[in-house]
Amino acid sequence: MQAFLSRLKLLAASLAIVVPSASAALADQVKVAVAANFTEAAKAIAAAFKADTGHEAALSFGSTGQLYAQITQGAPFEVFLAADAARPEKAVEEGFGVQGSAFTYAIGKIVLWSTDPNLVTGAQTLQAGRFDKIAIANPGTAPYGTAAIEAMSALNVYDSLQPKIVQGANIAQAYQFVKTGNAELGFVALSQIADNTDGSRWVVSDDLYDPIRQDAVLLKTGQGNPAAEAFLSFLKGAAAVALIEKFGYGVDIAE
Amino acid sequence: MQGLSSEIWISVRLTVALAATTTVILLIVGTPVAWWLARSRARWKEAVAAVVALPLVLPPTVLGFYLLVALGPDGPGGAIAGLWGARTLAFTFEGLVIGSVVYSLPFVVQPIRNAFEAIGDRPLEVAATLRASPARVFWTVAMPLARPGFLTGAVLGFAHTVGEFGVVLMIGGNIPGETKVLSVAIYDFVETLQWREADILAAGMVVFAFAVILAMTLIEKRMRRAGS
């Protein structure tokens, strides 16, 4: 007990020395709201961020619309990684985001995917329409759902497929519907299946839908928190970009 | 009310149809279960009661997840759907009925069981000594005496199904007229920042819930007074 107490005192003393000098940069935390599709990549980036800077990134996941609604109601998030460009822009317009802080951190790609190894062969799978149900994310709230509709429209199959569409509340749910076989196939995010080769898939060519620009923005609540600013600059750095690409996203080099 | 689109009315109709179907099925299925739970002396009966009560405690995500798998092509639901050439019961009205029956089961069984238990042995024994058959005892003595329990069970089952969200979200697929019930429509409106529509529906739900609970309490009170 004695030894423990003295060690505690020693620890306190050493902390007292360290705290004023470097702690502000060492032990800070940033609360990040993350669009559901970016879940796995965000976890990997947060781990790398911690290893690199010592800052902790606390991640909250949800659909972009849901997170945005929470931000407008005073949620304590400091950084917002959305699945679209519209919501961060709106955040700045409505005074929740910091002017000029928004940038595209990833470009999402959609894949037509089935657990059946023979079902998806390309656009012709959609044209043939030999299936019962096709899953997409809710196009009203999820940019991946909008992209799926655009791709089907571009291929002139939307009208014929419409009765077969089932909507997940977000892209994670669209994935569940396909994964459990309830829908034979569906449009999911490449990032959700980038780490395996299960089933059959067709990476939809990017000229069939508007690029899914996923923007990040610093929220007013995070202004002045060094960890929040460090997280955003880390997100633009080479280490994060490599992770983002590994998880199946494009990155806009011109940025 | 001009702004209320046909989409909303479709959701309202669907929700009422789902709740009504579920309630009828639950009264048919739940009554014998409640009777057995109230009368049986089997030692494992409380284990059965606990299973019935599980949906009270389990988060809808647990039910939704297992239902999604069970209704799908690899589960029993897929086998049933195969009878008419479909692959899955998810994304269908029938699938939602199955989910709602599971989800609202304790809300119907529990009040009916309580009502059966409250009758006690005496009225049933008296009827039996008057040579009423067990079936007759059930229909002419137990059922009328348990009326308040049936009322409470039916109202709670209906209202709880109307208020169902998580399970429907997970197995429904958001299809207008088929699986897009009121709670999901509200969720969509909130997410797409159509808060006026969300507000109208949400306020309607609050009024509905209040009216149901108040009416139930008042009617139950009157029934009990009339009974005693």
Give chain A positions within 8 Å (CB) of B188. 138, 140-141
CATH number listed for the domain at residues A110-203: 3.40.190.10
What token pair was written down for A156? 């002139």
Going by pLDDT thresholds of 50, 70 and 90, the confidence category of residue A4 is low
Determine the pLDDT at residue A9.
Answer: 54
Phi, psi of A75 (to 5 degrees): -60, 145
What token pair was written down for A166? 């089932």
pLDDT in tens, A8-36: 555 555 444 444 444 444 558 999 999 98
3-state secondary structure of A120: coil
Distance from CA of B71 to the nearest CA of A (A): 8
Nearest chain B Cα to A69, which residue?
B191
- Tell me whether residue A64 is annotated as binding: yes
Phi, psi of A17 (to 5 degrees): -75, -40
- All structural domains of chain B: 6-181 (1.10.3720.10)
User: Are A2-107+212-246 and A110-203 in the same CATH fold?
Assistant: yes
Determine the pLDDT at residue A170.
Answer: 85
CATH number listed for the domain at residues A2-107+212-246: 3.40.190.10
Going by pLDDT thresholds of 50, 70 and 90, the confidence category of residue A128 is very high
Is A114 within 8 Å of A182 (Cβ atoms)?
no
Determine the pLDDT at residue A12.
Answer: 53
* Partner-chain contact A181 B173, CB within 8 Å: no
* Partner-chain contact A177 B90, CB within 8 Å: yes
* Partner-chain contact B169 A181, CB within 8 Å: no
Distance from CA of A167 to the nearest CA of B (A): 5
Among A114-128, A178-192, B13-27, B120-134, the least confident range: B120-134
Report ipTM for this prediction.
0.74
- Tell me whether residue A171 is annotated as binding: yes
* Maximum alpha-carbon separation in chain A: 78
Nearest chain B Cα to A67, which residue?
B191
Bigger pLDDT: A66 vs A84 = A84
User: In chain A, what are the domain boundaries?
Assistant: 2-107+212-246, 110-203
Give chain A positions within 8 Å (CB) of B80. none
pTM above 0.90, yes or no: no
Taking residue B2's Cβ as centre, other Cβ atoms within 10 Å add up to 4
125-144 of A, contacting B, C-beta below 8 A:
132-133, 135, 138, 140-141
Within chain B, how many helices (H) and strands (E) appear?
12, 0
Q: Which of B21, B59, B13 is nearest to B161 (CA)?
A: B21
pLDDT along chain B (228 residues), means of 10: 70 95 97 95 93 94 92 89 87 94 96 94 89 89 92 94 92 87 90 85 94 89 76
Distance from CA of B175 to the nearest CA of A (A): 6
Determine the pLDDT at residue B71.
Answer: 92
- pLDDT at position A43 over 80: yes
pLDDT in tens, A58-78: 999 888 888 898 898 888 999
